[in-house]
Amino acid sequence: MSEETQNKTDIENMDKTLHVLHVIGGLGMGGAESRAMDMVRNSDPSVLHYDFLLCEPAGIYEEEAKSLGCSIYRVPRFLFYNYFSYVRALKKVFSEHPEIDVVLGSMTSTASIYMPVAKKCGVPLTVAYARSAGVDPGIKGLLTGMLRKNLYKKCDVCAAVSEEAGRAVYGDKRTDEGKVWILHTANNLKKFIHNDDNAVLRNEIREKYGLQDKFVIGHVGRFHYAKNHLFLLEIYKEYLNKNKEARLLLAGDGGTRKSVEKKAEELGISDKVIFAGEISSPSGFYQAFDLVIFPSFYEGLPGMIVEAVSAGLPCLISDSITKEVDVPEYVEYCSLNEGAKAWADKAERLYERVASGRPDGKRLNDLRGYESFKNMGFDAGEQARVLPGIFRKFINEHSEKSGFSGK
């Protein structure tokens, strides 16, 4: 194709709606799922239209996604022994939907399978999107690592939510060479600001759970090994020695919830720990919290911390988490090698420091956290504005070749 013809084609395609198929496990409440929905909510569907390919049962965001015009496609969960039926299901989706321009793969554990299938079915661009900087322990983690090996050879573009996630999935060499596109998870940051309207939400949530006069330590996220809820319970128990009116409010659901509930009973604190389950909107919960403790074993880039800091909350987080969420006014790191008491002591000092440094001594309309993340490019509206052009650039680069050049 001549340069003149290529330029003409590019101009003609500028008005074409880009169809992005987002491959993600499900649309339940979780960081990746919430960020995926923020991408949809902030995009003009006539410019950038999203659909979803899922392998999990209906989640809390699915009806909203449909109401926003997203189509939902499902394939079986990959279990190794069902490789051929999994591939057949993928081929059926990709071949029946030639409108797909981009496959955005947040499920990197199986991306090395579905992305080559997509390319063979004629999808112009495949983007692997690493959201996690670690894997589960045991056989599951080993299998995930095996499936991710050489993933960079199976997709057009290697993308990651953070440098740590890029290194974990694609390796140090490719990350150091600039061959990993860092696409931070984007949020509707403004809705988390603790203003007069959200102060009403604070009162509603706290009244609902009987927390009107309590000091509330909070956590939003799925119950999963990576989130380290068991250690969070131990920290909270130590914190009770400092403030008997403290309560722990946990929003989310997942596979480890029952073990966490059992641990709370064993520690004798089950009457002070509230399991709120899945929630459709975390905004009110951030308003209800006074402090966030987030001792994850690993994260790609925790959207919860971005949201919590935007809401003016002090956040004590593990030092295994990317420094890309470090807003010094609100965030402090603590090693997982330190005990629960050390975490509780540091959490208490952090809260007192942040509270004493607030404008006028009040959390209301404290915009420092919101402005910090907005300036760092975490705003969903701005991301939705620039993504179509970036995807078109990649499509042009990879229309006649495979592999990501890193340029």
Structure tokens at 343: 């975490």
- Tell the CATH topology of 189-375: Rossmann fold (3.40.50)
pTM of the predicted protein model? 0.73
User: Residues of the chain with pLDDT > 70: what percent?
Assistant: 93
pLDDT of the residue at 59: 86
* Whether 249 contacts 217, CB under 8 Å: yes
pLDDT one-digit tens code per residue, 326-344? 999 999 999 999 999 999 9
Does the pLDDT of residue 312 top 90, yes or no?
A: yes
**Model confidence at 350: pLDDT above 60:** yes
> Between 340 and 80, whose confidence is greater?
340
pLDDT grade for 1, boundaries at 50, 70 and 90: very low
The pLDDT score that the predictor gives to residue 354 is 93
50/301: higher pLDDT? 50
pLDDT at site 400: 53
Q: Report pLDDT digits (tens) over 110-161.
A: 999 999 999 999 999 999 999 877 767 777 767 777 778 889 999 999 999 8
pLDDT band at 403 (very low <50, low <70, confident <90, very high): very low
- Quote the mean pLDDT of the chain: 89
What integer pLDDT is reported at residue 145 of this predicted model?
A: 72
Is the model's pLDDT at 266 over the cut of 90? yes
Structure confidence at residue 218 as a pLDDT band (50, 70, 90): very high
Residue ranges of the chain assigned to CATH 3.40.50.2000: 3-186+379-397, 189-375
Task: Give the pLDDT band of residue 170 (cuts 50, 70, 90).
Answer: very high
Domain at 3-186+379-397, CATH homologous superfamily: Glycogen Phosphorylase B; (3.40.50.2000)
If DSSP states are collapsed to H, E and C, what string results for the chain? CCHHHHHHHHHHHCCCCEEEEEECCCCCCCHHHHHHHHHHHCCCCCCEEEEEEECCCCCCCHHHHHHCCCCEEECCCCCCCCHHHHHHHHHHHHHHCCCCCEEEECCCCCHHHHHHHHHHCCCCEEEEEECCCCCCCHHHHHHHHHHHCCHHHCCCEEEECCHHHHHHHHCHHHHHCCCCEECCCCECHHHHCCCHHHHHHHHHHHHHCCCCCCEEEEEECCCCHHHCHHHHHHHHHHHHCCCCCEEEEEECCCCCHHHHHHHHHHCCCHHHEEEEECCCCCHHHHHHCCEEEECCCCCCCCHHHHHHHHCCCCEEEECCCCHHHCCCCCEEEECCCCCHHHHHHHHHHHHHHHHHCCHHHCCCCCCHHHHHHHHCCCEHHHHHHHHHHHHHHHHHHCCCCCCCCCC
State mean pLDDT over 388-394: 95
What is the arithmetic mean of pLDDT over 65-92? 96
228-256 pLDDT per residue, tens: 999 999 999 999 999 999 999 999 999 99
For residue 400, count other CB atoms closer than 10 A to its CB.
8
- The stretch 27-56 carries a mean pLDDT of 90
The pLDDT, as a whole number, for residue 135 is 63
